[in-house]
Amino acid sequence: MSEKQLWSRIRAKLNHFGHFERVENGVGVGTPDIDFCVHGVEGKIELKYLAHYPVREGTRLLGRNGLRQEQVVWISRRCRHEGRVFVLVGVGTDLYLLRMTAGLAAELNELSRGALVEHLCWFHVGRKAPDYSGLVRALVG
């Protein structure tokens, strides 16, 4: 599965709660993948997907598959102006949502699975259907 396939998997579920749109933007370097508006609350979501977890527990979860430098800069700038930016990480069928800060954007790629868990605002683990209403509450809360 790719980030595009991850978006296809969650799009219909999220659109039930508000307006979610994938941003295909070659001009705005570093701009996150998804723009959303729910009950007047707007924000951005960057999607990251991995097929499986690293073998060793202490290994960086995202590493080179994480945020590009342009994305770190964009997210940091938006967060400094109190914008809502999230990263939704898919690993297999598991989902992890992180509310970004400038500091977290800078260190995200270096975090192991255990360290990443400390920064979660919502997660889903397992093959059962995720609670998308909980994900949306995390986005607007």
Write the pLDDT tens digit of every residue in 54-103: 999 899 999 999 999 999 999 999 999 999 999 999 999 999 999 999 99
Residue 82 pLDDT: 97
Write down the pLDDT at residue 102: 96
Three-class SS state of 114: helix
Average pLDDT estimate for 94-120 = 97
Split into its structural domains, the chain has a count of 1
- pLDDT value for 94: 96
| pLDDT tens-digit series, residues 26-37 | 667 899 999 999
Q: Where are the beta strands (DSSP E) in 8-93?
A: 19-22, 34-38, 41-50, 85-91
Q: With 70 as the cut, is the pLDDT of residue 46 above it?
A: yes
Place of tokens 């970004």: 100
Mean pLDDT in the chain?
95
**CATH number, residue 80:** 3.40.1350.10
Look at residues 36, 37, 64, 35 and name the one whose alpha carbon lies nearest to residue 48: 64
CA 80/CA 136 separation, integer angstroms: 23
Q: Is the pLDDT of residue 1 over 90?
A: no
Domain of 43, in residue numbers: 3-140
Report how far residue 31's alpha carbon sits from residue 86's, in angstroms, rounded to the nearest whole number: 12
